[in-house]
Structure 1
Amino acid sequence: MFAVMGRLIWKTHISWQLLWLLCLSWNTIDAQIRYSIPEELKTGSVVGNIAKDLELKLSDIFDRKLQIAAETGKQYFGVDLGKGELIVTDRVDREEICGSTGRCTLTLEAIIENPLQMYRVEIDVQDVNDNSPFFLNNQIVVNVEEAKILGTRFRLESAKDPDVGLNSLHSYMLSKNEYFTMNVKNMNGSKIPELVLEKALDREKQSTHSLILTAVDGGTPARSGSTTIIIRVQDSNDNSPVFEKNSYKVRIPENTPKTTVILTVKAKDLDEGTNAEVVYSFEPNTPAGIQDMFSIDPEQGTIIINTFLDFELVNSYIFEVIASDKGASPLEGSCSVEIEILDINDNVPEILMKSLPKPVKEDAVPGTVVALIGAKDSDSGDNGKVNLSIQSGLPFTLKPSISNYYALVTNSYLDHENVPKYTVEIIARDLGTPPLQSKTQISVDILDVNDNPPFFHQPSYTVYVKENVGPGNVLFTVLASDPDQGENAKMSYSILESNIKGISVSSYFYINAENGSIFSMHSFDYEKIKVFQIQVQAKDNGSPSLSSNATVYVFIIDQNDNAPSVIYPSAVMGSHQRMPRSAKPGHIVTKVTAVDADSGHNAWISYRLAEATDASLFSVNLHTGEVRTKRSLSEQDDFSQRLLIEIQDNGEPVQSTTVTVDVLIEDGFHEPISDYRKKTTELNKKSGKITLYLIISLASVSLLCLMTFFILLAKCARSSRGSSSCCIRRNDSGYKNPNRNLQIQLNTDGPIKYVEVLGGDMMSQSQSFGSYLSPMSEFSDFTLVKPSSTTNFTDTLNVLDASLPDSTWTFESQQQKPPNNDWRMPPNQRPGPSGQHRFHTLQQRWTPYEKSRAGPRPEEAGAGAVGGTGPWPNPPHRSRTAPGSDGCSECK
């Protein structure tokens, strides 16, 4: 009927100044954004660019998860994620949504995350003229008494138009006739049509009149609806009932019980008889909902409640009551009734989770938003005001926002290791009397961060490993723990880089990064390295990663893997000893000296005579290695004797080595001094002159030796007082080398007596003087050997070095303590020279260039100068021993 007038689309933006006024003091829930749209927009129509209005980039729509939620159950709008536009997703019918309400507003909530924010969006739905006015009945019957005076008005049925504003019912039109005109009465905003009698009726002329009533709205183009009015002319009943009041108003609480009489209306009719009897009823156009809610006693005019009232659904009712008489042509009177419903606190507050609680990292700063929570109470006034609270003792608090919205935020620092999850009970309580409350619980997970470094169960570990154990064995397993979770608790083990004697520790050990097992990379040698100190690090997989260290001490346990090494006699130079046939039992032929690179039990050395040309002639001391005669020699004994001496250690299994000593027995050679004196007595009988020469020679040589010794001793005492070595130092102007020293060695064992004086250090040219004394005539002279150079002396040492294995040359000053005192032995059972043949000297041991020195301990100085062992075997020292004697080889 009416042409389409087009759609009116507009959008109203609230200024940012107004937004800040609505924001209280916190920006989690911002002020409103308002749009206006006409109803009945097509699906997909654009309401507005909400992303632009929220100042969001298109990428933020996905990153911050823009969501649109409606307070009502039906979702009419959505977001075009590609353009950021708010679009229509369902039919928007203003009449269906808001009914006859003048203003129709849909409230939406725009929620974005990271940070969590919520915007209130209101969309005003503007009415369009999409409904035509209509009458409930297609035909209206009006009984009119013929006696009615002109100007009498007859109320007609009102038309209905769901549209509002200009589009709602605007006017009525009556078809042209000569008896009636149209009058429109405004009552409570409603337009009620009335027929006005303009010309007296004559039932005899025309008993029925038919008119067309048209209702027109104010839209553009206008819409209309019509109904037929049948006017029946009746006999006169010329007084209508009149109410005592034109309007009645009553206020009742919403909990008023059913069947309660809330109001009584009263009307009077001036007629008599049946024309004066009044019947009460609802105005015919009264909505069915009101007629179901209330009932009117037709005789008494009492209004009764039929069902329970609910202020939250409808807070007031307005309707009309008609009073009709019982005349032949009933007349009516009407009044307006308004019933106001008073609110009571009958609704429990409702807690609304606007966003689910998100997990919070344990290092989140106080004030971090966990969730948005709303509260709703359908009551009004103080009954509808709600306060939210949580239980005490939690690291959270509720921060109020606009209206009944709150933000659950942290108010202290969190610790996942102590409490990984919190259960927060939210309590909503209104301000009514008595107050009502409701509760709900939410769970807040605390996310772990890497704030705990791994820790070892002990700061250091001690591991004992036998030497010579094959590579690839698990030596030990370290264990660390991390109270964090997930990747933050996953650990990897490593060995920190360091050097052991110039070699990287990673070449000795390998650690399994996952379980902390430490493996050996190759076998160990106790004689080279006795203890390892390594740093093990445990590092977690957090970001950034944390770590801690522990020290692992690996002690190498000695194994008997070294056979004794013979120091004297030299395997290169050989051992050829001479002895006189006149030697007595117990005569020292030679002394075998050996050392063992092992330690403890494994380094104890014993000597035994394995084979001999004549086993009854010689014996070997078990502990010292001294070879002595067991009996006197006879003319029948062979002049050449060969001894095979076996040297064993005390390890398990036993290691041993052998050395061969060749002894040449000669008549009248190298006899002891006591024998010489006996022979001198016998020779005196034969030749006194020879004896005299021998005595004079011996006395001269002895006197010269003593003089030389005392002179050198006096010089040494002046230059180096209190020193164990005798050093000759020149004055500063003549000689400035403080390392140059003088060594004196005196040998009194055996038939050959000699004193050796060594001067200078090994880095410069040395001086060596030797003197020899012998009771035999061919050795009765005093020999002063010319100074020898360092080069010659070094050559001599090189020969001795070649005869000894490398394991005998150890340059360590550390001493190993014996496990117990049972290892100590009497001095006469210690390895090395002992008894009356113990070698006493004032000397400083010499070590080759660039190798460290290790002098004998004071209690071991008398145990022999030839690498002997004391109560507990010590690492062997590099010393020089003269073949066949306890002196040094330089004297030969």
Structure 2
Amino acid sequence: MGERWCAAVRVLLLQAAWALAGGQVRYSVPEEAKAGTVVGRLAQDLGLEAGEAEARRLRLVAQGRRASVEVSGASGALVVSSRLDREELCAKSAPCALRLEVLVERPLRVFHVELQVTDINDNAPIFPAARRNLSIAEFTTLPGSCFPLEGASDADIGANAQLSYTLSPSEHFSLDLQKTEEDGESLFLVLRQSLDRETIPVHRLVLSASDGGRPSLTGTMELVISVLDVNDNMPQFNQSVYKVQLPENAQHGTLVARLNATDLDEGSNRNISYSLQILFPQDGRDVFGIDKSSGEIRLKGDLDYEDVSLYRLQVDATDKGTPPLSGHCKVVLEVVDVNDNAPEVRVTSLSVPVSEDASVGTVVALLSVSDRDSGANGRVRCWVWPASPFGLEATFAGSYSLVLREALDRERVSEYEVEVRAEDGGAPALRASRGLRVPVSDVNDNAPAFSQAVYTVLARENNAAGAELARLWARDPDEAGNGRVSYSVWEGGAAAVSSSSSSGAGAGGWRPASSYVSVDAESGRVWALQPLDYEELQVLQFEVRAVDAGEPPLCGNATVQLFVLDENDNAPALLPAAGSAPEAGGAAGEAAAAAGLGSVSDTLWAWAAWGAQAGQVVAKIRAVDADSGYNAWLRYELWEPRAKGPFRVGLYSGEVSTARALDEADGPRHRLLIVVRDHGEPARSATATLSVSLVEAAEAALAAGSSSSSSRAALGAEMGPGAASAATNVWLVVAICAVSSLFLLAVVLYGASRWAPRAAVLSGPGPTTLVCASEVGSWSYSQRHSRSLCVADGAAKSDLMVFSPNFPPPPPGPAPKDTQPEPSALLDTVSGPSFAHLSLFSPPSVSSAVCPEQSLLGSRPNCRGPSAAGA
């Protein structure tokens, strides 16, 4: 009991001591201790009595890994049970402490034991590899060059791991050990002098590492240093400069050149890689490409000779040595021009419109012609199409002038479409063209021209004032004001007026044409200012002037021949005989007026002898008509007595003759009512009363001789038919002589007009005809003119009919709507029996009137510019 109490006290004391000591027991044992080596008296240190360790079952708690120590059951000592290897247990950690748990049962207690394993020098230094191969180039590696080496490692710690290095003797290499706080130790192999592969191709050295243990342990590594061949031969090209030509239209991928470089070195030093550099131009990097292995240069972009005609390339051949060496060559690529650019035609200056009076050689336009190609491909030939009236003149290289080669006429061509064509000298040739529009400006170089030189106008007399007589038109091919025509009557024109004019002129003379007609300034219409009277005026000839509005103005003239056509406005007029008895004719006149037979003259007296045979002329009724043609062609009719009487009247002669033999049964006196009618529409008439007395033959002759106022008809009745025929023949001879004289005068004047300046155009070409009609004699040309053309036994007669000849065709070109009708529409054909023809007018070239007494027109007015057509 006392012993147990003592034991309990010891345990309490041990616990208190353990508590004071931190509750742990520390032991130290060197590594590699043999099995059975006592580490410490664990039971005693825990305060157990001898024999209690086994009784209380003192043991170690199993750990996660196998323990190298154990508790001896009998003695309670901690002994080594297996090999202790600090490097295996703790590697490089220091200190190396093992924590053990000790379990005591009855009562259960747990104690902690710390076992520290101390290091011994049991590991030699070890290099990563037994051999290290190095390659160092000859000559190129400079002395002092350092080559890093991996140092050895030692599993021990502390002084046992402190290493020192040594190198086998060598005159070329040495060691350099550098220690820094950041990197620790760094080992370098230092080249002391240059290597020569030809002398020592391989250097073999031994690197030794010794630790600081006692005794020290050593580890070695063999260094095999191969001396590398120096890349002292650079690649060489067989040419320093390659010259290549390539057309500019070459396709992508075309082989430009194949280069070859050689290297005298061996191995990688002779393996060559090619590279390409563009020296000129700088922006041509994407045009060419090179194969790095074969050295083939191929086209990968577009060539354009006009942009770049020459490329300079540099090719580098670089070997794969260390360091690599390069060889160089140049490639000069000349781009060959191809005719791929058409000529270009540009207008630098254009002077339009061109005046139609521009002189030959006037420059119309300046042109610039170029071709981006070179050589023959860039030589350009130019011409103008169509060739006239323009041409090209070269001023200097590439510049041309479009000049006028011929005179222009706007009225013929008002605008030109000119095409300048260019062609280069390539094969095939390329062409270009440029069109120019050259308008021609107008110049007042054309005078107004009438469609006819002479206009023949027919107008019936007694027309209304203001009636349109004709419509003239003058063509002026100029434009605008130069072609705007105004018309006027030349004031110098004049017309011959008859002295027997019914208008009361009183005496013959000349009157200006402007008093009869006027011309509308714009339309060219000819108007009548007053009614025309054929008996006053048969022919009105005047000139119309057409003037344009140009500057200066030009004018043209046309002659207008106005022929007044006769109307049946005059009744026949009887010529009274002296000794007539007015009182006797009063009753007959009243009877004739009541019968509607027109005017009645005084009674005419005639005598007839008893026993006169049939057909003997007793008297002749004389009558005149102021009209002409059919209107003046008279016929005589016996109105009373209507029954068969002893007398009859010649239908056209007016001769009163016996119808049968007269006898006393017929009575002493006969009154004859004779009607004289013209052939007009409507017909006009006059009546004559003839009182015929039947007497003896001797009395009839006496009455004829004593009567101073007896008519020519009575004398003819007394003289008989033979005497009357003789008188008529005399007058016919006189008329023939007068006509012949007039014809000779016309021939002389015509010849003179051919050699003298022209004053006025009187007529269109061709003859104009005078018509006179009578059975018993020819009428005179005019009783109002000084020359009598035809003479009969009666009074002089005025009778004129004019027919226009054919007209020249109108000028080419369209005529305006107000152009006068064709001349043929204005002419009336007059026909009738017994017409005598006389030429009145000469052709248009005659400069004076046919009539010997006077000229119908004065001189032509002077106009600037070319004369009108037919002037």
Greater RCO structure (CA 8 Å; 6+ sep) = 2
Tell me the TM-score normalized by structure 2.
0.45
Tell me the TM-score normalized by structure 1.
0.44
